[in-house]
Chain A
Amino acid sequence: MTSYQRVMTALGGGKPDRVPVMVFNRDWTVNHLGFSASDMLGNAERFVFAQYYCARSFGYDVVQDAHGINAESEAMGCRLTYTEDFQLKLDNNPVKDLENDLSGLEIADPHRDGRLPLLLNQTSRLKELSRGELAVNSYVQAPFRHAAMLRGNDIYRDIIRNREKLHELLEIALANQVVYATALVHAGADVIAVSDPTSSGDVVSPKQWLEIGHRYVRELVRHIKKTGAAVYLHICGDTSDRLDTFAALDIDGISLDEKVDLEQARRTLGDKMCIIGNVGTTNMLVNSPQEIAEESLTCIEKAGAEGSFILCTGCGISKDCPADNIAAMVKTACEYHY
């Protein structure tokens, strides 16, 4: 099997030739190659090379565009600044006044606005370089996440104080994400990651998640599926109390943070949902390769013994993560026998 086939088999609920591996390693790959944040955020070729080179040399199965830089929100009016040391900041939220600022928002043109053309270019170049052998995974923010970037932290107050207007903002965010996700698939993405850290179980209640997060993710997923791409959801933090709501999203996979017990997740989600996870990101930074191998094996045994599983980190790893720990994840997956 190629890496692409392996990943798509797992996302389809099947058992590939071996456990597929993916790492959320945006900054890490760039740093590993001696490139800078400017390269990641301004030079598609360098970023693509870093992703491709690391996937090939470490032997994991997925290449990614620059995940998690909130490019959609930048394209709609936020300001992204960064240091060469990969400290990214997004500020200047355009929706300062929920009552009056919505009319000023415009759906971004993915081929024109902000860094979206760069990300489309990353995706299409990754697809070309991979020649169908690696799975190309591009990233969109969930509508609630995108709305939170446009609005700032006041969005959590809106949940209680101005729910009606909040839904108007969420509809705009959804419309933008449908357009952008479709453009990513047209550019060559095999898999779309929908990320919603704002819907963490450490942040909003299960009821708030259903009303503000889930409903819009479901709608976004419905549109993405029409393009033929596979789609998985990632939510940071502890989502143990809302695992049962994921099945109704019609996603192919769910990427779980290290705070979630994979055994419980597998039990709740059944055999066919592809579970993606969840080696601890801090452990990746501070533990030994032997410890990472043991943790990886535990993840596989808890949720991946029968396939329908991708070994992955629970969230984004530090740029300073030891390379041997990534190698340990891959080695564990390769040596595991179904």
Chain B
Amino acid sequence: MKELSDLAELIKQGEVAESIETVKKIIDEIAVEQIIGAMTAAMRELGEQFEKKEVFIPELLVASDVITELMPLLEPYILKRNMQRKNVVIGTVEGDIHEIGKNIVSIVLKAEGYNVIDLGTDVGIGQFLAAASEQGASIIGLSTLMTTTMHVQQDLIAELVERGERDGYFVIIGGAPVSSRWADRIGADAYCADAFSTAALLNSLP
């Protein structure tokens, strides 16, 4: 459908106003699943280009801005159709205010249809666990960009074990200084290098 492929293109170009206009035009005619499908396709394509180092953070950010602006338009339709969505709690750990990578993960997961509860940056362990419990989230994503704060990822998992709740959550870690090896060491369920591998991993979960 031409409108949907146009929308995907506008998202990739980071054209906020035109994307909103397009969605407003088609929202009553095209199923919301298809619109989300176009958003997902656009972000996946950018993800592939990011992987190949054809696009970088600036391009991802302006495309993410479009998704952020479109979501409130789509929410009422998503609710009306009662689409099944998994809840994901995500944030940058306490002591760290880096947010770009985490924000992109958040947006890409939203574009994939997840209900993302983004707690922002400098988020304490207690805040993560309270939000996950209140929102009924089974997935927790922890970002950190610094060697000085990566221990918070470890501390959160230790806290889950301490509470006897470790099996209730799938914990994903990410960020520049961490790795699969660190994930193994601290007992996280997975390490993801970027937003797109996070989405692929979550989509593969039962």
Contacts and interface: CB of A to CB of B under 8 A. Distances in A.
Given A161-B62, A205-B56, A282 B97 contact: no
A308 to B, nearest CB: 28
Contacts of B61: 153, 156-157
B57 A156 contact: yes
A190 to B, nearest CB: 27
Contacts of A286: 182, 185
Contacts of B14: 160-161
B100 A156 contact: yes
A86 B62 CA distance: 33
A156 B104 CA distance: 13
Interface string A83-105: 10111011100000000000000
Q: Is the interface of A mostly helix, strand, loop or mixed?
A: loop
Given A281-B177, A282-B182, A319-B148, A157 B65 contact: yes
A203 B56 contact: yes
Contact of A202 (B94, B176, B185): B176
Contacts of A142: none
Interface core residue of B14, B95, B148, B178 (most chain A CB under 10 Å): B148
A324 interface: no
Interface in A86-144: 86-87, 89-91
Nearest to A283: B181
Interface string B147-168: 1111100000000000000000
A204 B57 contact: yes
B182 A208 contact: no
Contacts of A281: 147, 177
Interface residues of A, number: 33
Nearest to B96: A87
A204 B50 CA distance: 11
A85 B95 contact: yes
A87 B95 contact: yes
Contact of B148 (A157, A203, A236, A318): A318
A23 B159 CA distance: 33
Contacts of A161: 14, 62
Nearest to A91: B97
B118 interface: no
B179 A89 contact: no
A153 B147 CA distance: 21
B59 interface: yes
Interface size class of B (residues with CB under 8 A): 20 to 34
B52 to A, nearest CB: 11
A281 B182 CA distance: 12
B189 interface: no
B72 to A, nearest CB: 20
Contacts of A157: 58, 61-62, 65
Contacts of A27: 148
Contacts of B9: none
Contact of B56 (A91, A208, A282, A319): A208
Interface in A302-323: 315-320
Nearest to B97: A89
Interface in B175-197: 176-179, 182, 185
A316 B147 contact: yes
A320 B151 contact: yes
Contacts of B99: 153
B21 to A, nearest CB: 18
Interface in B13-38: 14
Which residue among A90, A91, A159, A317 has the maximum number of chain B CB atoms within 10 Å of its CB?
A159
Nearest to B60: A156
Contacts of B95: 83, 85, 87
Nearest to B186: A286
A160 B147 contact: no
Contacts of A204: 56-58
B177 A203 contact: no
A77 interface: no
Interface in B51-80: 53, 55-59, 61-62, 65
A164 interface: no
A125 to B, nearest CB: 25
Contacts of A86: 148
22 contacts: A27-B148, A83-B95, A86-B148, A153-B61, A157-B62, A160-B14, A160-B59, A161-B14, A201-B53, A204-B57, A205-B53, A236-B176, A282-B147, A282-B182, A285-B147, A285-B150, A286-B185, A315-B147, A316-B148, A318-B147, A318-B148, A318-B150
